[in-house]
Chains A and B, each alone.
Chain A
Amino acid sequence: MTSPRLGADDVREIARLARLDLSDQEIAGFTERLASVLDYVSQIERAEVGAAAGPPEGQPRPWRPDAAVNPQGFDVADRLLAAAPARDGDLVVVPRVLDAE
């Protein structure tokens, strides 16, 4: 497989998926730079390596015991919420969500 040429429209669409807005000028610059990186990266396609399997093997790790221990408690919940840029009481506020996931 040859490396796909990323056009400006592709870059715009991918940026949309990532919730990034790029100006036309940025799009042009990104397209060119990404193309050179993808060209370079495409050498892995030619590499003779084994078939892709799962992630590397590791030792089994212990799981967390099922206990509700939040030593930080509500106090920390308050501090966590304090970092939210917009709040209404104990709730975090965002512009209205249209359709429910």
Chain B
Amino acid sequence: MMDPFLDTGALARLLAAGEATSRDLTRAALHRAEALSHLAAFLHLDPEGAMDSAAESDRRRSRGEARGPLDGVPVALKDNLVTRGLPTTCASRILAGWIPPYDGTAVSRLKAAGAVVLGKTNLDEFAMGSSTENSAFGPTRNPWDTGRVPGGSSGGSVAAVAAGIVPLALGSETGGSVRQPAALCGVLGLKPTYGRISRSGLVAFASSLDQIGPISRDVEGMAWVLGAIAGPDPLDSTSAPAAVPDYAAGLDAGVAGLRVGLPREYFAEGLDPATRARVETVAEALRDAGATLVDVSLPSSPLGIAAYYVIAPAEASSNLARFDGVRYGPRARDPVDLEDLYVRTRSEGFGDEVKRRIVLGTFVLSAGYQEAYYLKAMAVRRAISADFEAAFSRVDVLLTPTTPGPAFPIGERAGDPLAMYLSDVYTVSVNLAGLPGISVPAGLVDGLPVGAQLIGRAFEEATLLRVAAALERAMPWRDLRPDVAGGGGAA
């Protein structure tokens, strides 16, 4: 029986050596997904499509035409990534039954690299949340403790990787939705530089913050998937023209001489001491590997959440206006007039958190309030960017905790939006500044994973991956495996 926790690098080598076929891996992944259905990581599995893709991959390989290390590797996609012919619901009733007629750019690039799409994963409705509890189809559970949240909003993708169903998945970020759950489930989660990956085919939450992010068990797999999907796209005006380096090339270069900044605002009040200790272990590991630790300050970062909760809902209120029951998706029954059609379709289709954010966003953009909220938040956003710029004149990367603490119990913060929002306190500033950030596993606190976040200069994902690779060697997290009930021997 194959070890379900093999990472992308190991699977790629098995495939290359002919020791496993993509059909083997895909079948095993499908079985495991079924066996672990209680985690509710997936909203839709596509067994037929996946097995067809796997068979095609195997045929390519047998002809010597394998497309690269990802060819034949099963992956999972967050269900806000548009997939041709596969349902894409954003975990919302308002998109129930919608079958997109096109693939998003990242999805088609991943398919072009040969990856096998296993299915679509659960999320907070429209990616609005930090726990994957706000899904219209029920919450995803943390593989480490099914009584706890996996984090969110990419909780389904992260849980699928953490539980050993797939070695790789795509999530999306707006304020920490990949890094935060990755930390809480003990895997790697990357938020690339804004513009690094095309947003075409990512259902918009907050356009100026959204970015697709890969989730992986190993750094090498992360480098491969980023290389496969990054780069300019004529379908996204905000995709960056910057060239895509070979991210896997410099992973062994080490961190000697690297200056690592520790922003003191990220180690202040509100941080769980045990989590802090784990992050300090990571800092020490870097120092032991030859890096220099530098104390830095990002004075505006504490305002990040506040600015974020103005800008993101503002953009969301506009982005979600298209869900009106006219062109696609369900429509309210027997509308008496046009207003009734709009109001009932939207009121029945959206969940509470989405409605809350639409109302908040509509308010902060409305006449008389835009200046106090939206424009001020944009100014804070620029101040946060300036802070990072200043810090990066002194250091190469920043190291912070990813979250204030480990995963919280399901339901604990459901009634308190503000408490929920604060679980992204260390991640949102990175989105506001458009910088790349990665969460690497930092060990366990009371049996639950926590993460350390590395933040880099714009378009320096390669540096982040190099540091992550050094940490992977220094404090291997391959042995960090949840004891997933019911998931033992399916593969």
A binds B: yes
Chain A residues in the interface with B (C-beta under 8 A): 1, 3-4, 6, 10-11, 14-15, 17-22, 26, 30, 33-34, 36-38, 40-45, 47, 49-53, 55-56, 58-59, 61-62, 64, 72, 76, 79-80, 83-86, 92, 94-98
Question: Please, could you name 17 A-B residue pairs with CB atoms under 8 Å apart, sorted by A?
Answer: A10-B363, A18-B362, A20-B350, A34-B360, A38-B360, A41-B310, A44-B303, A47-B300, A47-B376, A47-B379, A49-B380, A49-B383, A53-B382, A56-B381, A56-B382, A83-B98, A94-B341
B376 with A94: CB separation less than 8 A: no
B366 with A96: CB separation less than 8 A: no
Closest residue of A by beta carbon distance from B236: A61
Known contacts A20-B346, A47-B303, A56-B434: A85-B337 contact under CB 8 Å:
no
Asked if B338 lies at the interface with its beta carbon under 8 angstroms from chain A, I say yes
Collect the chain A residues with CB atoms within 8 Å of residue B474's CB: none
B101 with A30: CB separation less than 8 A: no
Collect the chain B residues with CB atoms within 8 Å of residue A20's CB: 343, 346-347, 350, 355, 358-359
Q: Which of B173-181, B321-329, B392-400 contacts A (4 or more CB under 8 A)?
A: B321-329
A97 with B338: CB separation less than 8 A: yes
- Point out the residue from B241, B328, B343, B362 that lies within 8 Å of A21, measured CB to CB: B343
**A71 vs B240: C-alpha distance when bound (angstroms):** 25
Expressed in whole angstroms, the minimum distance between the Cβ of B321 and any Cβ of chain A is 8
Collect the chain A residues with CB atoms within 8 Å of residue B331's CB: 85-86
**10 shortest interchain CB distances as A-B pairs:** A85-B331, A83-B328, A19-B342, A52-B375, A49-B383, A21-B347, A49-B379, A52-B379, A18-B362, A21-B343
B326 with A84: CB separation less than 8 A: yes
**A95 vs B337: C-alpha distance when bound (angstroms):** 5
B338 with A34: CB separation less than 8 A: no
- Point out the residue from B195, B326, B363, B418 that lies within 8 Å of A40, measured CB to CB: B418
B359 with A15: CB separation less than 8 A: yes
Closest residue of A by beta carbon distance from B332: A85
A37 with B359: CB separation less than 8 A: no
Q: Size band of the B side of the interface?
A: 35 or more
Known contacts A20-B350, A33-B356, A64-B234: A41-B373 contact under CB 8 Å:
yes
Known contacts A30-B355, A44-B303: A4-B362 contact under CB 8 Å:
no
* Dominant secondary structure of chain A at its interface with chain B: loop
Known contacts A36-B417, A38-B360, A43-B306; 14 additional CB pairs below 8 A are: A14-B359, A15-B355, A20-B343, A20-B350, A26-B352, A30-B355, A36-B418, A37-B418, A40-B305, A44-B377, A52-B375, A56-B382, A61-B241, A79-B101
Query: CB within 8 Å of A: which of B295-334?
Result: 300, 303, 305-307, 309-310, 317, 321, 324-331
**A61 vs B337: C-alpha distance when bound (angstroms):** 43
Collect the chain A residues with CB atoms within 8 Å of residue B101's CB: 72, 76, 79-80, 83
**A3 vs B372: C-alpha distance when bound (angstroms):** 9
Asked if B421 lies at the interface with its beta carbon under 8 angstroms from chain A, I say yes
Closest residue of A by beta carbon distance from B358: A18
Expressed in whole angstroms, the minimum distance between the Cβ of A67 and any Cβ of chain B is 12
A52 with B376: CB separation less than 8 A: yes
Asked if B344 lies at the interface with its beta carbon under 8 angstroms from chain A, I say yes
Closest residue of B by beta carbon distance from A78: B101
**A80 vs B328: C-alpha distance when bound (angstroms):** 8
**A98 vs B338: C-alpha distance when bound (angstroms):** 9
**A50 vs B303: C-alpha distance when bound (angstroms):** 14
Collect the chain B residues with CB atoms within 8 Å of residue A34's CB: 356, 359-360, 363
Asked if B268 lies at the interface with its beta carbon under 8 angstroms from chain A, I say no
Collect the chain B residues with CB atoms within 8 Å of residue A94's CB: 326, 338, 341
Collect the chain B residues with CB atoms within 8 Å of residue A49's CB: 300, 376, 379-380, 382-383
- Point out the residue from A11, A52, A56 that lies within 8 Å of B359, measured CB to CB: A11
- Point out the residue from B329, B363, B418 that lies within 8 Å of A85, measured CB to CB: B329
- Point out the residue from B340, B378, B380 that lies within 8 Å of A95, measured CB to CB: B340
Expressed in whole angstroms, the minimum distance between the Cβ of B159 and any Cβ of chain A is 27
